Amino acid sequence: MKIYVFEDEALLLKSLEFRLSKEGYDVNCFSNGLEAKQKLQEELPDLIITDIMMPFLNGLELISFVRNDLKSQVPIIVLSAAGLEKTVLEAFNLGADDFVSKPFSPNELLIRIKKMSHRIKISVM
Amino acid sequence: MLTLNLILNILLLGIVPFFWGLALCFAVAGTGFIAFVLVSRKRKNLHAAQLQEISAKCQPFLTELAFEGTIPEEYRDLEKQLRSTNNGKWIILNELIKIRKYFQGEAASYIEEYYTKNRLYKLSLNKLYSTKQHQKIVAINEIMDMNYLGATRSLLQFIHKEKSPELVSNALIALTKLDYKLGLNRIIEQDIYLSDWFQLQVIKILDEGKVYEIPPLVKWTKKSTSHALMGLRLLIFSGAMDQMDELSSLLNHENDKLRLETIKAFRTLEYDEISFTLILRYYNEPTRNKCEIIRTLEVLNYKQNLAFIRLCAKSDDSEIQRVAKEALRRLTPEEIRLGVNAPIIHLFTPTLQRAV
């Protein structure tokens, strides 16, 4: 399963790449929104994990781009700081599927990813 | 005439070389200074690059540590080598603090365990005794982020000795995070102004820890107005309804802001029985507090409040009139029906009616 992770904090990005790769996922990491947009135009993953606050193109714009411009229904998990309730609601309105607030439990994130991948498998069948 | 010429010549001949010499000195000193700045900047950049390189080396094993709880065999030598020097320890600590902020749960516990087990807290505690204020702040934050319970004694000593109120406030917040009972009791004892920011931070910590056992309001009210305000906010936070007498007594406090917050507290706690007391207090309050009383009476379930709010809507004070009219607009027809029938108006003394 191919996962794109969009996160501007380098250490967190590396940590997520490490953890998800270890779980057997094919992980691609991007540290800014424009880079992410370009990659998405080339190829769509099976799952997107994105931060809200990102340089050049924020998470909300990215979700809108995936849903409206690319017309894709690829599952999107928003990973963002707590206390941004309004923004999170906006993300859901734009088409995000799940939200994990920072600081987060890596195990919880993994469970959510597994749940998503299960959903993907069912929809493919 | 000849003598005068001679004197002028000597003076001129002496002064001119003096200025040339001075200029030369400035040029040499200036060049030296520029060279020094350039060299030290280059050295600083080199040092930063080295630090970055070592930080990058740390990241893989710290990531493994966060997720797996152990450092894999292939990184152990590197980790040991880094830990053997002070610089290395600093770098590990910095990276550890960064990574800790992202995670909670098991990953966070692994990081905290590493910090304690490898005595990295010593670096934090050393900074606590530094002469530089920003280092002390860093130390307090590190101790708090790493949830290092062994630091409570050092924090208490620090609070006792430290003169800066900002640093003491930060240390009190950290202490509350590590041991909420000790922290809250220390806050009550401390002669310090408790700012709104400080109160918010403490309540946030208590909320995160799901701590609702708060020292009684009477302990807070005895100390200072800002302590009383904090006690009031903690009472609202904990939702304790068994301290209403103490809360009511704050309506007689000399501080306007504290009385305002007390009125709000009754509204938040929905303590209906206070309605009539609030109506009686109304007369002595400034406009801002009067408006708050109207808003509170609107919420409290006491049917006679409506008659009073209607009186307020006829007030000469435009602000009071506006707030009362807004309150009336928000009331439901059922509430209005009950209120209209309430025989409260005769209870208002002429003085009170005039005050409205």
pLDDT of B355 reads 46
Cβ atoms of B62 and B95 closer than 8 Å: yes
pLDDT reported for residue B22: 78
Model confidence over B243-269: pLDDT tens digits? 898 999 999 999 999 999 999 999 998
The predicted structure's pLDDT at residue B320: 94
Per-residue DSSP letter, B273: G
Number of domains in chain A: 1
pLDDT at B333: 66
What is the separation of C-alpha A2 from the centre of its chain, rounded to a whole number of angstroms? Answer: 11
* Alpha carbon separation from B182 to B85, B114, B189 (Å, rounded): 36, 25, 11
| Helix (H) or strand (E) run with residue A83 in it | none
The H or E element that residue A6 is part of is strand A2-6
Count the helices and strands in chain A (H runs, E runs): 5, 5
pLDDT at B167: 96
In a domain, B228, yes or no: no
Residue B304 lies in a domain: yes
Contact list, A29 vs chain B (CB under 8 Å): none
In a domain, B38, yes or no: no
What is the ipTM score, two decimals?
A: 0.82
pLDDT at position A68: 93
pLDDT at residue B266, as a whole number: 92
Has residue B247 been placed in a domain?
no
Burial per residue of B9-33, b for 16 or more beta-carbon CB atoms within 10 angstroms, e otherwise = eeeeeeeeeeeeeeeeeeeeeeeee
| In-domain check, residue B298 | yes
Contact A103 B103 (CB under 8 A): yes
The answer to whether the CB atoms of B63 and A15 lie below 8 A apart is yes
CA distance A94 to A65: 10
Cβ contact, residue pair A106, B95, below 8 Å: no
Last residue of a domain, one of B119, B152, B171: B119
Structure tokens at A107: 């195990």
Minimal C-alpha gap between B60 and chain A (Å): 8
C-alpha distance from A98 to closest chain B C-alpha (Å) = 18
Specify if B89 maps to a domain: yes
pLDDT by residue for chain B (356 residues), tens only, comes to 556 666 666 666 666 666 677 788 888 888 888 888 887 787 777 677 777 788 888 888 888 898 888 888 888 898 898 888 888 898 899 999 999 999 988 999 999 999 999 999 999 999 999 999 999 999 999 999 999 999 999 999 999 999 999 999 999 999 999 999 999 999 999 999 999 999 999 999 999 899 999 999 999 998 999 999 999 999 999 888 888 989 999 999 999 999 999 999 999 988 888 998 999 999 889 999 999 999 999 888 666 788 888 889 999 999 999 999 998 888 766 666 555 544 444 444 444 444 44
- Name the residue among B66, B104, B105 with its Cβ closest to that of A15: B66
| Edge-to-edge order in the sheet of strand A98-102 | A26-30, A2-6, A47-50, A76-81, A98-102
**C-alpha to C-alpha distance for B139 and B95, rounded to whole angstroms:** 15
Q: How far apart are the C-alpha atoms of B149 and B175, rounded to whole Å?
A: 9
Q: What is the per-residue pLDDT across B112-143, written as a single tens digit (0 to 9) for each? A: 999 999 999 999 999 999 999 999 999 999 99
State the nearest Cα–Cα gap between A35 and chain B, in angstroms.
Answer: 22
What is the distance between the alpha carbons of residues B237 and B19, in angstroms, rounded to a whole number? 75
Beta carbons within 8 Å of B182's beta carbon, 6+ residues apart:
B152, B156, B175, B176
Q: Does residue B330 sit at the A interface (CB-CB below 8 Å)? A: no
For the domain that residue A40 is a member of, what is the CATH number? 3.40.50.2300
Domain coverage including residue B284: 271-356
What's the pLDDT score for residue B130?
Answer: 92
State which residues of chain A have pLDDT below 50.
Answer: none
Give the span between the Cα atoms of B225 and B191, in whole angstroms. Answer: 11
Q: What is the mean pLDDT of chain A?
A: 88
For chain A, how long is the longest CA-to-CA vector? 38
Does B47 map to a domain?
no
Cβ-Cβ pairs closer than 8 A, A with B, add up to 48
Task: Output the pLDDT for position B356.
Answer: 45
- The pLDDT assigned to B16 comes to 64
Contacts of B66 in chain A (CB under 8 A): 15, 106
Report the pLDDT value the prediction gives residue B292, as an integer from 0 to 100: 94
Bridge partner residues of A78 (DSSP): A50, A99
Instruction: Name the residue of chain A whose CA is nearest to B109's CA.
Output: A105
Domain boundary among B75, B90, B119: B119
pLDDT of residue A95: 93
Domain that holds residue A32: 2-123
Residue type, A56: F
Q: What would the two tokens of residue A78 be?
A: 């928003």
| A contact test, residue of B67, B74, B144, B204 with most A CBs within 10 A | B67
Q: Which residues contact A118 (CB under 8 A, 6 or more apart)?
A: none
| Domain termination residue (choose one: B119, B144, B176) | B119
